[in-house]
């Protein structure tokens, strides 16, 4: 009985402590303003704060006002992205000698988080484009770098990443698209599925099989739009992410010059995985932007929506919910930034941290966006309210974009 009383007292104290913590968080949020508590500029250098502000301003002025229209009309906003490229966002972590901005992985995460507050779908495509440009810059020779990177960095040309196939999603090493060497060309046959930008973009970074089974038989080729034998499937009708077109990319006796191969034969899988380490951070950063915007939308709604004679901001239950949302957001941001620094410095734990960031942050940010929608009640389901856009974007994050990347670090090929 004594033990039971001690246990019961511990439970009561634990419940009090949790409730007290939530109250302290919300009171701090209320006193300083929630925007200050979740301020993404905390801990950044002056230079980082400057380009973060540029990205936030671009998101607010050039993306957010058009996000709903781009989604409804399925517009691929080429001109808006080219404006972003003028700010250096077309090749953020590409080397300056071929037109890139030469920024770090942490800098990149900061920019993508800020841009995503304006339009997650468009920012996610920009992140894929940046990944492709980086892969060419990093693994290409000087001739390849000079041929492709300058146009990609200014977004005069756009890039797509071609790894997933109808029969190989998570099991990327089992891909079947073949590339047979004939003279000074590879003859490609096969297809890629769910390719962001497919059909509308100009450069395709393609993983294909030049050797035997498994990852060591995979090579990486750059295929240019207009190459004979390259075609595209129908434009997919998606639940969301409609500002970036999605199609199958089809190769039928598609002749690609050997000079368009990145690295040596058999290095393609390694190139793909190194590219996607950054992809995990990039997509987690996009999630942060959606969550950050959702927290602020929930706060604003609570301050104006009245029920039972007072605003929702006076409800202790909703105060606690907002405090939890703010806490999850800040914790998620810290993990993403730790992973970005580890990847930039080449630490041995970098791959695991990138995977953890993708796994944890997309989950937590979905929870934040979902709670923001619930706080809006029925209004949250109306397309007149921006909060609904952020919630269905996570369907894409979970099911389609890089879903296997949360787990790939457990395996060694």
Helix axes 268-304, 387-399, angle to 10 degrees: 160
- Please state which of the ranges 30-39, 106-115, 205-214, 310-319 shows the lowest mean pLDDT: 30-39
Give the CA count within 13 Å in the CB-facing half-sphere of 238.
27
Could you give all domains of the chain from N- to C-terminal order, each with its CATH number?
A: 42-154 (1.10.540.10), 159-265 (2.40.110.10), 269-403 (1.20.140.10)
Cβ-based neighbour number of residue 31 at 10 Å: 9
Q: How far is CA 70 from the centre of its chain?
A: 18
- In whole angstroms, give the CA distance from residue 13 to residue 86: 56
Separation in Å, CA 261 to CA 173, 179, 218, 340? 18, 11, 11, 28
Dig out the tokens for 413 from the structure: 């090929």
**3-state SS of the chain: helix, strand, coil percent to 5?**
60, 15, 25
- In whole angstroms, give the CA distance from residue 94 to residue 321: 40
Dig out the tokens for 103 from the structure: 């920024």
Q: Mean of the pLDDT values across residues 5-19? A: 48
- Please state which of the ranges 211-215, 297-301, 392-396 shows the lowest mean pLDDT: 392-396
Question: Is 50 exceeded by the pLDDT of residue 6?
Answer: no
- 3-state SS, residue 348: coil
Q: What is the pLDDT of residues 341-369, one digit of tens each?
A: 999 999 999 999 999 999 899 999 999 99
In residues, how long is the chain? 413
- Output the average pLDDT for the chain: 89
Separation in Å, CA 116 to CA 16, 78, 316? 37, 16, 30
Q: Which helix (H) or strand (E) holds 32?
A: helix 2-32
- pLDDT, position 32: 53
Residues ≥6 apart with Cβ < 8 Å to 169? 403, 404
Cβ-based neighbour number of residue 411 at 10 Å: 8
Q: What is the pLDDT of residues 51-92, one digit of tens each?
A: 999 999 999 999 999 999 999 999 999 999 999 999 999 999
Question: Is 70 exceeded by the pLDDT of residue 270?
Answer: yes
Question: Is 70 exceeded by the pLDDT of residue 106?
Answer: yes
Q: What is the pLDDT of residues 310-334, one digit of tens each?
A: 999 999 999 999 999 999 999 999 9
Q: What is the pLDDT of residues 209-230, one digit of tens each?
A: 999 999 999 999 999 999 999 9
Question: Is 70 exceeded by the pLDDT of residue 397?
Answer: no
- Please state which of the ranges 25-34, 42-51, 315-324 shows the lowest mean pLDDT: 25-34
Q: Taking CA 59 as the corner, what is the angle to CA 202 and CA 129, rounded to the nearest 5 degrees?
A: 20
What residue spans of 346-383 are helical by DSSP H? 350-376
């Amino acid at each position: 009985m004594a033990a039971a009383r001690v246990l019961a007292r511990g439970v009561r104290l634990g419940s009090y402590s949790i409730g007290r913590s939530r109250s302290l968080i919300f009171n701090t949020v209320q006193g300083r303003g929630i925007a200050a508590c979740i301020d993404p500029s905390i801990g950044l250098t002056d230079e980082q704060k400057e380009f973060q502000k540029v990205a936030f301003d671009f998101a607010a002025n050039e993306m957010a006002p058009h996000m709903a229209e781009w989604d409804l009309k399925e517009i691929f906003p080429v001109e808006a992205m080219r404006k972003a490229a003028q700010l250096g966002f077309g090749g953020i972590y590409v080397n300056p000698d071929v037109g890139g901005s030469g920024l770090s992985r942490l800098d990149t995460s900061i920019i993508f988080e800020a841009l995503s507050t304006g339009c997650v779908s468009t920012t996610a495509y920009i992140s894929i484009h940046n990944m492709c440009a980086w892969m060419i810059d990093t693994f290409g020779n000087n001739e390849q770098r000079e041929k492709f990177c300058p146009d990609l960095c200014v977004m005069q040309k756009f890039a797509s990443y071609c790894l997933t196939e109808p029969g190989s999603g998570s099991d990327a090493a089992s891909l079947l698209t073949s590339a047979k060497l004939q003279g000074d060309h590879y003859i490609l046959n096969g297809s890629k599925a769910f390719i962001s930008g497919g059909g509308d973009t100009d450069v395709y970074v393609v993983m294909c099989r030049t050797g035997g089974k498994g990852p060591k038989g995979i090579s990486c080729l750059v295929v240019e739009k207009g190459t004979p034998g390259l075609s595209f499937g129908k434009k997919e009708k998606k639940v969301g992410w409609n500002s970036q077109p999605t199609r199958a990319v089809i190769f039928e006796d598609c002749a690609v010059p050997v000079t368009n191969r990145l690295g040596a034969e058999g290095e393609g899988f390694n190139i793909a995985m190194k590219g996607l380490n950054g992809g995990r951070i990039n997509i987690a950063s996009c999630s942060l932007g959606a969550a950050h915007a959702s927290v602020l939308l929930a706060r604003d709604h609570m301050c104006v929506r009245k029920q039972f004679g007072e605003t929702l901001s006076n409800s202790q239950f909703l105060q606690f919910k907002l405090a939890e949302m703010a806490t999850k957001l800040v914790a998620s941001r810290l993990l993403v930034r730790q992973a970005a620094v580890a990847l930039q410095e080449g630490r041995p734990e970098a791959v695991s941290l990138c995977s953890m960031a993708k796994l944890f942050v997309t989950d937590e940010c979905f929870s934040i966006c979902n709670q923001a929608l619930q706080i809006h009640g029925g209004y949250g389901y109306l397309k007149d309210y921006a909060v609904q856009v952020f919630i269905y974007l996570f369907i894409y994050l979970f099911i389609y974009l890089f879903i296997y990347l949360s787990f790939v670090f457990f395996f060694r090929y």
